[in-house]
């Protein structure tokens, strides 16, 4: 029972990060049909942002640095995303395959930049002091870092939910996602909405980057590992669906955690892939389906 609970906890914390990475992907895919292979590098950029700030502020201000890194990583990730959208993706609109290849190239460039600037070996980010330790509930020891990650993602999710559901800008985002042509014909400045979506999605990846520094060291290829899992979340959840992404992230995180406990990480990953292949045979449209029709 304790093992069940402790794996549940670990699975949820992994799911949280996955979700944060997947949200940006699911938005940009849902809205622009863009598969952004450089999205993982925004996670990496967020992680290095934390590292840089910590270095700049010194050892005495670790906690402050970490807290400052959260909004800053959002801005860094978001800015990278907007530049990518502006310079590249916008020009390749309607050519998903070319976009995929081009952004993959950008991903490699960003990785090399990180290697040149920070070195090929991994760097460590120190967790702030208030996250040291763990709380034991029902015999399960829950580390503060993982609790913090779950809470952070909860806050981000709530913010996104409120933004999409309540604000005019969020309404425009949903309108463009559901029917791009109709939105444009209704006066919505679609390029502006696209840029905003890219900013938010990429910014969330940056925030995820701060969160992953709590779980391990930071290296140039950090993002790649998360990108694949995040894609799985997007596909299983249903493209462009927030609710689907949440369910898929939790399912994938828990599945990994439990299978990994009985076996090892590689087998868990292989089993997850196999399961998803089978799943997509029966439900190729994902968990949550958007009922929408195009403007013919």
Partner 1 sequence: MKDDDSTPIPGGEMLRVEGLGSGYGSTQVLFDVSLGVPEGGLCCVMGRNGVGKTTLMSTIMGLIRARGGQVVLAGEDITRTEPYERVRAGIAYVPQGRDCFPQLTVMENLRVVAEACPHPEGGAIDEALELFPRVKELLSRPAGFLSGGQMQQLAIARALVARPRLLLLDEPTEGIQPSIILEIEEAIAQLKQSAGLSIVLVEQYVEFAMRLADTYVVMDGGRVVEAGDAGALEDGSLQEMLAV
Residues listed for the chain? 296
β-bridge partners, 142:
135
Work out whether 293 is an interface residue with partner 1 (CB under 8 A).
yes
Q: Which is nearer to partner 1, 281 or 296 (CB)?
A: 296
Q: Which is nearer to partner 1, 153 or 239 (CB)?
A: 239
Q: Which is nearer to partner 1, 58 or 187 (CB)?
A: 187
**Interface positions, 140-199, toward partner 1 (CB under 8 A):** 168, 171-172, 174-175, 178-179, 181-190
- Angle, CA 198 vertex, CA 196 and CA 203 arms, to 5°: 100
Work out whether 108 is an interface residue with partner 1 (CB under 8 A).
no
Q: Which is nearer to partner 1, 189 or 283 (CB)?
A: 189
Closest distance to partner 1 from the beta carbon of 231 (Å): 24
Rounded to whole angstroms, the Cα distance separating 171 from 168 reads: 5
Work out whether 290 is an interface residue with partner 1 (CB under 8 A).
yes
* Contact string 114-143 vs partner 1 (x = CB under 8 A): ------------------------------
Closest distance to partner 1 from the beta carbon of 255 (Å): 29
Taking Cα atoms as reference points, which of 41, 47, 196, 44 lies closest to residue 105? 41
Binding site for partner 1 (CB under 8 A): 168, 171-172, 174-175, 178-179, 181-190, 290-293, 295-296
């Amino acid at each position: 029972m304790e093992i069940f609970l402790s794996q549940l906890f670990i699975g949820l914390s992994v799911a949280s990060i996955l979700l944060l990475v997947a949200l940006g992907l699911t938005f940009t895919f849902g809205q622009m049909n863009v598969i952004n292979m450089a999205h993982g590098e925004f996670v990496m950029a967020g992680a290095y942002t934390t590292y840089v700030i910590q270095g700049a502020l010194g050892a005495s201000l670790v906690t402050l640095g970490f807290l400052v890194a959260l909004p800053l990583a959002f801005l860094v990730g978001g800015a990278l995303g907007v530049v990518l959208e502006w310079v590249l993706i916008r020009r390749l609109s309607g050519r998903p395959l070319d976009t995929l290849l081009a952004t993959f190239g950008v991903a490699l460039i960003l990785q090399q930049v990180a290697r040149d600037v920070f070195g090929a070996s991994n760097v460590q980010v120190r967790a702030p002091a208030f996250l040291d330790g763990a709380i034991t509930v029902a015999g399960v020891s829950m580390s503060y870092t993982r609790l913090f990650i779950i809470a952070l993602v909860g806050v981000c999710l709530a913010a996104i939910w409120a933004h999409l559901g309540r604000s005019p800008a969020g309404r425009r985002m949903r309108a463009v996602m559901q029917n791009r042509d109709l939105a444009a014909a209704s006066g919505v400045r679609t390029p502006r909405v696209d840029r905003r979506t890219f900013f938010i999605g990429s910014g969330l990846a940056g925030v995820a980057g701060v969160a992953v520094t709590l779980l391990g060291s930071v290296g140039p290829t950090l993002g790649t590992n998360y990108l694949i899992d995040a894609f799985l979340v997007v596909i299983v959840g249903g493209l462009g669906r927030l609710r689907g992404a949440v369910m898929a992230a939790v399912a994938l995180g828990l599945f990994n955690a439990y299978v990994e406990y009985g076996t090892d990480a590689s087998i868990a990953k292989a089993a997850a892939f196999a399961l998803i292949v089978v799943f997509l045979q029966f439900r190729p449209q994902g968990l949550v389906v958007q009922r929408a029709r195009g403007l013919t």
